[in-house]
Amino acid sequence: MSAKPKLAFFSFASCEGCQLQVINCEDELVALLGAVEIVNFREAIDERRDDYDIAFVEGSITRPEDEHEVKEIRERAKILVAFGACATIGGINAIKNFQPQEKVSQYVYGDQAATFPSYPARPVHDLVKVDLKLHGCPISKSEFLEACKCLLAGKQFTVPNYPVCVTCKLAENVCLYQKGMTCLGVVTRAGCDPMCPTFGNKCIGCRGLIDHPNVNAAFDVLEDLGLTLEEVTKDFTMFDGCHKEITEKK
Ligand code: SF4
Ligand code: SF4
Ligand code: SF4
């Protein structure tokens, strides 16, 4: 019998909520563990092994020592998956990119700031080649499980490259714009089973922008509705503050 593929989970600057989503796959974990061996997963097991095939990397890169570690993970893994918004687009951590870094460090670490050097948050693909991005804050359990099935079968897993609006319409939701609200679903990547609009909340872009979004049109619509450029930019940079098309509008 051939050995099971080995999975490992790593985290950089993050809340580790995406890893928690894996543990939350309670109904499917037994089947998953029948198909793979997990050799590194600080949140769930004591074992630490470096002989993994697939590495799931959560978190953004914010410290000099992160760079060395993520490069080592890349060298060891056959497949590297950026796992969650922090890893794929910078996520919440990138909010600090819009403040002077010294001020941020002093706010968090006080007079010990020099002991904890950090720089603006960057997504994992800025440092190493990423084979697959699983988006969201947190990641979607069903998308994670589907991606695992594909990876284990040697098939390509394709993340949606159309906006949340498409799935929102399929769910027969009344558009929030018709209720006088705003929503970033028009340019945000689908795949979340339009969780926020379905429950009456605006999409705040946690899955990042689709490829080739018409950011200018989205900004125009939101500004026409009375939002200032600053307010629109704040909405877009809550998760996607590393995206050039957005930051260049500031
Ligand atoms: S993407 Fe969200 S849930 Fe996942 S680690 Fe980052 S902050 Fe936590
Ligand atoms: S509520 Fe948001 S996601 Fe749904 S259709 Fe309207 S803009 Fe699109
Ligand atoms: S609707 Fe938008 S903010 Fe909400 S989970 Fe989906 S992508 Fe994230």
Give pLDDT tens digits for 32-89: 999 999 999 999 999 999 999 999 999 999 999 999 999 999 999 999 999 999 999 9
What architecture is the 6-153 domain classified under in CATH? 3-Layer(aba) Sandwich (3.40)
101 lines ligand 2 (CB under 6 A): no
168 lines ligand 2 (CB under 6 A): yes
**Ligand 1 centroid to residue 92 C-alpha, Å:** 8
CA of 157 to the centre of ligand 1 (A): 21
Q: Where are the domains of the chain?
A: 6-153, 164-247
* Cα-to-centroid distance, 59 and ligand 1 (Å): 7
Predicted confidence (pLDDT) per residue in 78-122, tens digit: 999 999 999 999 999 999 999 999 999 999 999 999 999 999 999
* 7 in contact with ligand 2, CB cutoff 6 A: no
Closest ligand to residue 165's CA: 2
DSSP string, the chain: -PPPPEEEEEESBS-SHHHHHHHT-HHHHHHHHHH-EEEEETTT-S-B-S--SEEEEESBB-SHHHHHHHHHHHHH-SEEEEESHHHHH-GGGGGGGGS-HHHHHHHHHGGGGGGS-----B-GGGTS--SEEE-BTTB-HHHHHHHHHHHHHTPPP----SBHHHHHHHTTPPPGGGGT---GGGTBB--STTHHHHTT-----TT-BPSS--HHHHHHHHHHTT--HHHHHHHHHHHHTT-HHHHTT-
Q: Is the dihedral of CA 38, 42, 47, 50 positive or negative?
A: positive
pLDDT tier at 245 (50, 70, 90 boundaries)? confident
Nearest-angstrom CA–CA distance, 208 and 204: 9
Q: Which residue has the tokens 């080649």?
A: 129
Give 250's pLDDT tier (boundaries 50, 70, 90).
low
The reply to whether ligand 3 has any atom less than 6 angstroms from the CB of 186 is no
Task: Give the tens place of pLDDT for each residue, 153-205.
Answer: 999 999 999 999 999 999 999 999 999 888 999 999 999 999 999 999 999 99
Half-sphere exposure of 71 (CA within 13 A, CB side): 7
What integer pLDDT is reported at residue 1 of this predicted model? 47
The finding on whether 203 has its CB within 6 A of some atom of ligand 2 is yes
Residue 95 CA: which ligand is closest?
1
Cβ 85 under 6 angstroms from ligand 2 = no
